[in-house]
Structures are given as C-alpha cells and as structure tokens.
Structure 1
Amino acid sequence: MRNLGILFLFLALTIGISSCFKEPEFSFTPAIEYRDFSKDILLDKFIGANKDSIVINVHFQDGDGDLGLGEEDKANAQKNDDFNYIIKPYRMRNGVFQPYDPLVPLSGYFPLLKIDEKPGPLEGTLSYTIQFFHSFTRKNDTLRFDIQIKDRAGNLSNVTETEPIIVNTL
C-alpha cells in the first residue's frame, strides 16, 4: 500500500510539473536572427590552395517545425536551384557594401531539423559553412551577407544581416 502511495505521489508531481511547461507559440513563417560567425584558414589538399572556411550561425524559430530538406526533397530542389538557405553577398567597395555575384552560388541546402517530422514548434541555431579560396578573392576582402531561410511549405523568413567578415588575410 505504501508503494502505491509513493507511485501516486510521483505521478501527481510529474503531471503537475509537466503541465507548468507550455509549448512555445511561434509563427509558421520562420524567424531568424544573426548570432555570430567563426573563420578558419584551411589548406585545400586537392588543389593546394588556402581557403577561408566561414561558419555563420543564425538563431531560428518556426511554429510547425517544417525546416530542412530530406534527401529526396533536396534532389528535387537542386534541379531548380530552389535553395532553402539563401545568401545574398555584399563586397565593400569605396567604403560601401555593394551586391556582387560570386562565381559559385553561396546559397545552399540544410537537412531536416526534425527527424520525426511531427508538426510542432522548433527553435535552435542553424550553422552554415561557406568557403572562399584565396586565389579567387582579393586580399583582405571585406564581405557581409544577407541571410534568409525557407521552410518546406515555401514560407520565407525575415532577412538577417551578418557583421563584416574579412577574407584572404594571409
């Protein structure tokens, strides 16, 4: 009988505590905010050239959690360059950032962020890597990026802007 009382007390406490935590309510349109970046200078062993590897971190919130692409969705999106991580690059010229078109698109794809694909709010940090070969960038080139993400329903997030990032500093 005593064990039954302890079990009942444990269940009551568990239910009471879990009912205190309300699921967050986010918009079904993703929202992002630039957090920070990190940069490493690497040697590409295949071509023997230095490159900057930049990792951009953005915080995200999405109400239904439909962020990222599975392998089949990614293959279909790649056919049309239908990116879910959209980058618009800017290069500093005469003290002003101006849009530019890189030789290779910087936009890309990020994988499913919810494995079970069960609808529900999702929040976290999304890290995305961009690489710049020194042989294709100017010495001490100053860049910044506008970032936007797209969910599987096609909803585009707000645009967030990185701080200036200097590449090819060797």
Structure 2
Amino acid sequence: MAMSRTLSLGLLFALLCAAATSCISPPDFSDTPRIKFENLDIVRLPNPPGFQTEYSDTIRIYFEDGNGDLGLSTTDTMPPYDRTVDPVTKEVNENYYNYFVQTQIKNPSTGDWEDYVATGLPAGVYNSRYPRLAPESDKEAPLKGTLKFNTSVTVGPVFPPGSEIRYRVSIKDRALNRSNEIFTSSHVIER
C-alpha cells in the first residue's frame, strides 16, 4: 500500500513537472545577435628581468541569438567564410572572422578614444573565430550565453605606461548578421 502510494505520488509529481515545463515558451530573440558587455578581467603576467611587462585581458560578453546560428567550425572555410586575402589592402575576408575586436587608446590631450592600428599590419589584427555554440542540427533554436576572448597587451612604445585602453567588440552569425557594438570598461597600463 505504501509502495503504491509512493509510486502514485512520484508519477503525479513527474506529470506536474512535465506540464509545467511544457508551458514555458522559448525566448523571443532576434535572429541578428545582440551582445552586452559583462566584464573585463585584467591580469598582469609575471615577467623575467629585462622583459617588458605584459597583461592578459579577458573580455566577457553576454549574447542572445534567435536561431542559434553562432560560431564557425574548422571546416567552415569555403565562401563566404574563406580566408581570401585582398591583394591590395592585404586584409583577410571579413567573413572569415566572427568575433571582431578593436583596441582603442584614450588620447590624453583630447580625452577621445582612438582606434589603435598596428603599423605594418592590416586592420582587424585582433579579430578571431569562435567555435559553433550549438550542436550540429537543422533545427533552429534561441541561444544565449557568455563568450570569453583573451588577448595580451605588452607595455612598450605602442602601449606606454599611463596609457588607458579599452575594446570595441561585435560578433557575426553564420548568416552574416552582425551584432550591435559594445565597449568594454577601460584600464590604465602600469609599468
């Protein structure tokens, strides 16, 4: 009798849980990704004597996407995701990347933020790819979460002590929809 009652209560509980979860509708996100700045973690790395100080910066962004088509696999190398290089500008096809990072330096004279572009290197030197975030499937589904991106900053002629830097970030989905742009918090480079 007690076993029958326990099974009945367990079955009732399972049915109630199933009914409750079936009433939850999926979030209604846009098919164009949206991002929000979460955090910028800055770690000063130990350096041997005679070497320049280096920082490891980790950018964390929250993302939402309505159909979950975020990320590129290692096999996503055919157009439009190919790594074609423009013969004139030497820039890589923008669609090869899906994570866009632009370092900015605060001009101490004007207080304006200016894009840093490395001398002799093409624009977008910090751009990157992040892997597919949902399992391979033909089924579209909303997706949300946090992306982390690590980069390093070396104290020297480009980023002298006292420089204040931040990052401008956006992402792109496989349908080539580009998200909004966000700015991270800033930090001052110390010797």
When you count strand as a share of all residues, which structure comes out higher? Answer: 1
Specify the SS of the correspondent of 1:71.
coil
1-structure distance, mates of 2:188, 2:72: 31
Label 1:127 to 1:74 Cα distance change in 2 as closer, same or farther (>3 A).
farther
Structure 1 stretches of 5 or more lacking a match? none
AA in 1 matched with 2:26: E
When you count helix as a share of all residues, which structure comes out higher? Answer: 1
Task: Name the counterpart of 1:67.
Answer: 70
1:34-113 counterparts in 2 under 5 A?
34-43=37-46, 48-73=51-76, 77=81, 79-80=83-84, 81=92, 82-93=96-107, 94=109, 95-103=111-119, 105-113=125-133
Label 1:75 to 1:92 Cα distance change in 2 as closer, same or farther (>3 A).
farther
Matched, 1:160 2:174: no
Specify the SS of the correspondent of 2:32.
coil
**TM-score, with structure 2 as normaliser:** 0.76
2-structure distance, mates of 1:89, 1:78: 24
What is the number of equivalent residue pairs in this alignment?
168
Task: Name the counterpart of 1:125.
Answer: 146
Label 1:62 to 1:53 Cα distance change in 2 as closer, same or farther (>3 A).
same
Superposition deviation, residue 68 in structure 1: 0.9
Matched, 1:28 2:31: yes
Task: Name the counterpart of 1:12.
Answer: 15
AA in 1 matched with 2:102: K
Query: Aligned-residue CA RMSD in angstroms?
Result: 2.6
One of 171, 178, 185 as aligned partner of 1:149:
171
Superposition deviation, residue 17 in structure 1: 1.7
Superposition deviation, residue 102 in structure 1: 2.7
Residues 59-68 or 92-101, more deviating: 92-101
2-structure distance, mates of 1:92, 1:70: 35
**TM-score, with structure 1 as normaliser:** 0.84
One of 126, 134, 147 as aligned partner of 1:114:
134
Deviations 1:25-55 (A, max 9, x none): 111000001111001112478x954311101
- Which of 1 and 2 has greater Rg? 2
Deviations 1:117-160 (A, max 9, x none): 44201111111111112234211211122211000110000111
Structure 2 stretches of 5 or more lacking a match? 85-91
1-structure distance, mates of 2:83, 2:117: 20
Name the % identity.
28
